Amino acid sequence: MADQWLGLTTVINEGVNLTKDTDGLVDKPSDRSLLTTEARSPLRTDLAIAITFVIVAVAVVLWLLRPPLDPYTQSVLNLSGDPVQGRSIFVMNCVACHGEWANGKVGPNLHGVSERKSDAKLVHQVVSGETPPMPQFQPNPQDMADLLSYLKQL
User: For the domain that residue 142 is a member of, what is the CATH number?
Assistant: 1.10.760.10
Domain shared by 54 and 75, yes or no: no
* 154, pLDDT greater than 50: yes
User: What pTM value is reported for the model?
Assistant: 0.60
Domain end point (choices 14, 29, 64): 64
Model confidence pLDDT, tens digit, residues 63-110? 888 778 889 999 999 999 999 999 999 999 999 999 999 999 999 999
What pLDDT was estimated at residue 1? Answer: 47
Domain shared by 81 and 9, yes or no: no
Residue 94: phi and psi, rounded to 5, are -120, -20
* 12, pLDDT greater than 70: no
What pLDDT was estimated at residue 5? Answer: 47
For 119, the domain range is: 71-153
pLDDT band per the 50, 70, 90 thresholds, residue 35: low
Q: How far apart are CA 37 and CA 32, in angstroms?
A: 9
What pLDDT was estimated at residue 14? Answer: 52
Average pLDDT of span 2-25: 50
Q: How far apart are CA 57 and CA 53, in angstroms?
A: 6
If you average pLDDT over every residue of the chain, what do you get?
A: 81
How many domains in the chain? 2
Q: Which residue has the higher pLDDT, 43 or 73?
A: 73
Q: How far apart are CA 24 and CA 10, in angstroms?
A: 15
Q: How far apart are CA 89 and CA 81, in angstroms?
A: 12
* 23, pLDDT greater than 70: no
Domain end point (choices 32, 64, 96): 64
* 141, pLDDT greater than 70: yes
Domain shared by 88 and 58, yes or no: no
79 closest CA partner among 35, 141, 26: 141
- Contact assessment for residue 141 and residue 75, using Cβ atoms and an 8 Å cutoff: yes
Domain end point (choices 49, 64, 79): 64
Domain shared by 28 and 98, yes or no: no
